[in-house]
Amino acid sequence: MAKQAVVIGAGMIGLMTAYYLRGNGLDVTVVDAGEPGMGCSFGNAGFICPSLSAPLPGPGLVLQSLLWALRGDSPLYIKPQALPRLLPWLLRFWGHCNESEQDAGLAAMLAFNLRTVELFDRLRADGVVFEMHEEGLLVAFLDEQGLQREFAELRKIERHGFPAPQRLDRDAAQALESNLSDRVVGGVLLPAERHVQPRSLSLGLMRHLEQAGVEFRANTRVDGLDLRDGKIAAATARGEGIGGDLFVLTAGVWTRQLAAMANVRLPLEAGKGYSVTLPAPGEPFRHALYFGDTKVVLSQYRDEVRIAGTMEFSGYNTTLDAKRVHGLRKAAARYLRALPDERGQAWTGMRPMTPDGLPVIGRLPGVENAFVSTGHSMNGVFMAPVSGEALAELILDGTTRADIGAFDPRRFVRH
């Protein structure tokens, strides 16, 4: 039986995977190219919202994305200079933009995420200390037709065991959030949803793992995998071998390069997200907010408020586009009576995207002792516990209580 696990990538997915592997008795080493917990999840809004599990590809998005591509402040932006390199991936992505595939993907995601809130409660019960808010999610709209469409879509979650969404008119929405402007026509309340301060969760997990004996190797970029007889003998970093019985690839968008070292091609692309973090307003927001017409979100933490959103396809880079940040503030301002005037702390990070919008969780094809968990798109924070638990079960027992068939790497991997 395997005793030593090497987890490559210390974002939220990697940390949670390490948590469940260590909790099941394995010795765990976590390796990261930078500082653990400082990757894509760092500037995330921290939504714990399994109800918002629909895959990104959907009906009508082909034409809409082409129209949005002409606007630098749009919810989904494709940088023209990157289009030649991105086109093969985008063609695959657009091929999944239909209702039947999105409905099937949504069903798989909702079933997988049904225990999400329960697992966050278990983290706290196990002594992991982090900031979490439990007031629910309020989806606000400026357009009545958009509100009607979104409410109809959100009602699908009831068939999968989630609490029913509550439709609100303007007065009811403003009674819950007095900061909403009169331009808001109404909203939808998802009362069971939550949000966390992502950095607090990363730090809480790292402290817990260190106390449990997990070894962290920061600023250690894996540049090779030593393959022998269909197994990985060691990961190499600057010529040094890091040995183990099993290896888990959880490096976000960089998992594509790691998998290629094992002769496996994963169709991952970087979908950049942006956020700006501001001082908390004098009258704090009571709920997490999702501005449905613009796909921008807002999270209130203890001492600050974060506005986040957008999806930018511009290749592998963390160049911060000030126009995108300005677009976030401008979009949020349409829904609110006031925003703090301070410039705030702007951030951008690369989300790992797959063409079908579903994560990649399972055994790495053709490699006996390697596993992968990536491609969680915008949902890495809230999917991390259930993904870590499922992968640990697969590694240790060969089966999982949650159905991960839709996320199997073999669905599009070529050797």
Give the CATH number for residue 24.
Answer: 3.50.50.60
Cα–Cα distance, 346 to 348 (Å, whole number): 7
Residue closest to 230 by CA, chosen among 347, 325, 133, 366: 366
The average pLDDT across 284-302 equals 94
Q: How many domains does the chain have?
A: 2
pLDDT digits (tens, 9 = 90+) for 54-63: 999 999 888 8
In this prediction, what percent of the chain has a pLDDT beyond 90? 84
Q: What is the pLDDT of residue 2?
A: 67
- Specify whether 12 is located in the same domain as 145: no
The average pLDDT across 190-204 equals 96
- Specify whether 222 is located in the same domain as 83: no
- Specify whether 407 is located in the same domain as 275: no
Q: What is the pLDDT of residue 415?
A: 44
Q: For residue 86, what are the domain limits?
A: 51-108+132-194+269-353
The average pLDDT across 151-160 equals 92
pLDDT of 366 above 60: yes
Average pLDDT for the chain: 93
Report residue 102 as tokens.
């999105």
In this prediction, what percent of the chain has a pLDDT beyond 70? 98
- Specify whether 87 is located in the same domain as 104: yes
The average pLDDT across 370-394 equals 97
pLDDT digits (tens, 9 = 90+) for 95-106: 999 999 999 999
pLDDT of 389 above 50: yes
The average pLDDT across 321-338 equals 91
12 burial (CB, 10 Å; 0-12 / 13-18 / 19+) is buried
74 burial (CB, 10 Å; 0-12 / 13-18 / 19+) is buried
- Specify whether 401 is located in the same domain as 277: no
Cα–Cα distance, 107 to 22 (Å, whole number): 30
pLDDT digits (tens, 9 = 90+) for 21-78: 999 999 999 999 999 988 877 889 999 999 999 999 999 888 887 777 767 677 888 8
